[in-house]
A and B are shown apart, each in its own frame.
Chain A
Amino acid sequence: MKTNTHFAFFDEGSKKEIRRAILKAVAIPGYQVPFASREMPIARGWGTGGLQITLSIIGKQDVLKVIDQGADESVNAVSIKKLVQATTGVKLTERTQESSIIQSRHRIPEVALTEGQILVLQVPMPEPLRPYEAKEYQTKILHSEEDYSGAWLMLFEQIMKYGQTATGADHPVYVNNRYVMAPSPIPRFDNPKMHQSEALILLGAGREKKIYAVPPYTDVASLAFDDYPFAVESFEGKHCHLCGATNVFMDELIDHSTGETIYQCNDTSYCMERLNANVEAEVEENHV
């Protein structure tokens, strides 16, 4: 049996092609650069696009964090971490502040990202115009002509139907005032974090063979109308039942003993860190 002995899984030729695509993506913010997506030892749709980016940029000095829908310990995040670590030996972390590369599905961490970090987002469907135009060649023409009337119409229809912008995750954004881009299925709550981000954001779609990017300090505006402004999910008056946090993205849970609705930080490492800090503070107090 032939075993894979390459550093970071890929041969150098595969990395070079992906690396070149990333540089073009950075030079044309929001534009989907095609690349020759490789077969990966994890199922497609489970982050192969993000994983291919991570493996192509990662080096021995990097510290990697992987999260899936806010959780570091989900099966998917763990299998990605295992693959990367087995082929690179890099240090893993759950602390956002300690990481140099963060690969994520469906979330941007609560802790603000900084200049030394790269966020890699996994993308199932990179084409924001696909819901109304099935043909790839046609969507390419629409992007080339900056014809986004269909995207606006889609938004308008939602407002007519629901009385508000009822998009869930993956609410389209305008990048650098030129390309309409799918931010990946992050909640609307995370969209503003892309605007003028300190960290470089790279997005990868394995099945659709596309890589795109939001460089740091780049304008990212969520699509909205003047009279129906963009709004993030509201957690006003709610707090995390574990750590007490407010103004973070929370999951809704049912307290089985009381039957009441309770809320909990979706970003588990953020919540854990706050809990530990609270415990430490209590210990300090008891020692005084």
Chain B
Amino acid sequence: MSEEIKPNEIVDFLKPRVGARFKMWLGICAHCGLCANTCHYYTANEKDPKMIPSYKIRFLKEILKKKGNVDKDYLQKVYETVYYECNMCRRCTLYCPFGIDIALMISLLRALLFSQGMAPEGLVKAIENYKESGNQMAVSDEDWVETVKWCEEEMAEELVGLEIPIDKKGAKILYTVNAREPMFYPQDMMEVAKIFYVAGEDYTYCSKPGWDDTNLSMFCGDLKTSKMIVENTFKRAKELEVQQVAITE
């Protein structure tokens, strides 16, 4: 993490990303406050005015105005707002007369911070894992397949004939999981296997990266990794010629 903030880096990062909508929104927000009581951070914090959605995006306006001339402390303040005061749920947009998309701008600010090396540790670690292994928990392909097999064995004792298909070409559904499931909650996978079995659904897991449906990199605006994750799943879906991809949650 560099201590020195280079304004031109910030400007270069924002320039291609601040589109016509962002400029328009920063310009026409009437500061009417209609979005205030629509934000759960506002209502949960005893109507703290600092939680008004429109107020949270002042940072973007300021950074653009200052042409990136901000210091580390300032970015730290931005960090606290964009990570602890908004979860990009977009509810405020539904009530803004102009439909101003606060969450999109918060997301851009998170991306800007990420480009400056500022992001929650957990997310940074997850992104490393995605890049290495294709899933957020760095489960190896072998361990993943082994876990699925183990689930199958466990369940077969209860439901005779139960199988958990892996890489079954032409199945109807490609089923994906949260990578925490094989790591910490394989019982969830077993429950799902039960349901699929009883329902008689034609589904399959895939053995190669693409089986983890979480996309944590999205939360710090790392769109490159986000894209890679989604593309992995699409690739598997195509290879296996499935009709649908199902995701947990």
Chains A and B are bound partners: no
Contact residues of A with B, CB < 8 Å? none
